[in-house]
Amino acid sequence: MFETQSNDPLTHIANQAAQSADQAIRSTQRAAIDAMDGVAGSVKELRNEVAPRVNQVAERASALAQRGADALHRGSQPLLDKAQHAADSTTRYIRAEPVKSMLIAAAAGAALMGLASLVNRSHHRD
């Protein structure tokens, strides 16, 4: 690379230093490339080892979530059935006894308002 011919000792020393620096740079580049190749290989090996385990964990988590959802559905179904039965019974009662139903609803509303008023007063006293 540096092929300037000269009899000057300083030029010769400068050329040798430049060649040494150039060789050191190339050697460092080779070492860096080799190191990067090693790191890339290690990462690839690690990915190959970890990927199946991650998939197994994801599959297990999915299966657990599905089992939980199934259990929740099975557990909540009787409650939904009871709520539907209560709604149907209430609707039938209201159709059969509309005046009585209105009086019961009014009395329940008045009782709730009275209770709310008592609770509100006790909070203001504190």
- What is the torsional sign of CA 91, 93, 99, 104? negative
Query: What is the number of other CB atoms lying within 10 angstroms of the CB of residue 84?
Result: 10
Query: Residue-wise pLDDT tens for the chain (126 aa)?
Result: 444 455 788 888 888 888 888 898 888 888 888 888 888 888 888 888 888 888 888 899 999 999 988 888 888 888 888 999 999 999 999 999 999 999 999 999 999 999 999 888 877 766
13: amino acid identity, one letter = I
87: amino acid identity, one letter = A
pLDDT for the residue numbered 92: 93
pLDDT for the residue numbered 126: 61
Listed in sequence order, the residues at least 6 apart from 18 whose beta carbon sits closer than 8 Å to its beta carbon are: 1, 2
pLDDT for the residue numbered 99: 92
Listed in sequence order, the residues at least 6 apart from 4 whose beta carbon sits closer than 8 Å to its beta carbon are: 11, 15
